[in-house]
Amino acid sequence: MGAMMYPCHLKSGLGRFQSMTELEEIAQSVRMILLTRRGERPYRPNFGTRLDQFAFENLDTTIRNRIRQEVVACLQTWEPRIWMIEVSFPSAPQDGQLIVQVEYQLRTSGIKGNSQIELSIT
């Protein structure tokens, strides 16, 4: 049995919790890595990203490239099940939020996956 979905869902009529597919599990892991500030977890101080350092920055090409590099480096470190990581910004920041789109391939099957997060930049 694979990892349990979060939030939990019951399988229809079986009374068992629904498990995630590998792709769903990895997408959840990617989001968790990117939304965790480095130093936030006491027993894993190097886990997560330093994306919070870009708050209040002017999101020019240089800063977007630094965000892209931070995302790729952290995912390469903390999520070994993926590769071919590409980061894009599908729209301009709105209401103090920057959307970061991450696309990747699963190493085992080559299936493409993606995750999207919103960063607060104000």
What does the pLDDT look like over 23-32, one tens digit per residue? 999 999 999 9
Q: Which tops the pLDDT comparison, 116 or 55?
A: 116
**Full-prediction pTM beyond 0.75?**
yes
Alpha helices in 43-115 (DSSP H): 61-78
Q: How far, in Å, CA of 65 to CA of 86, rounded?
A: 12
pLDDT of residue 1: 47
Average pLDDT over residues 91-115: 91
Cβ atoms of residues 113 and 82 within 8 Å = yes
Q: Which residues make Cβ contacts (< 8 Å) with residue 90, sequence separation at least 6?
A: 99, 101
pLDDT of residue 113: 95
Model confidence at 4: pLDDT above 50: yes
Length of the chain: 122
Q: How far, in Å, CA of 63 to CA of 67, rounded?
A: 6
Neighbours of 66 (CB within 10 A): 15
pLDDT digits (tens, 9 = 90+) for 43-99: 999 999 999 998 888 888 999 999 999 999 999 999 999 999 999 999 888 877 889
Whole-number Cα distances in Å, 10 to 6, 7, 21, 54, 97: 11, 10, 15, 39, 33
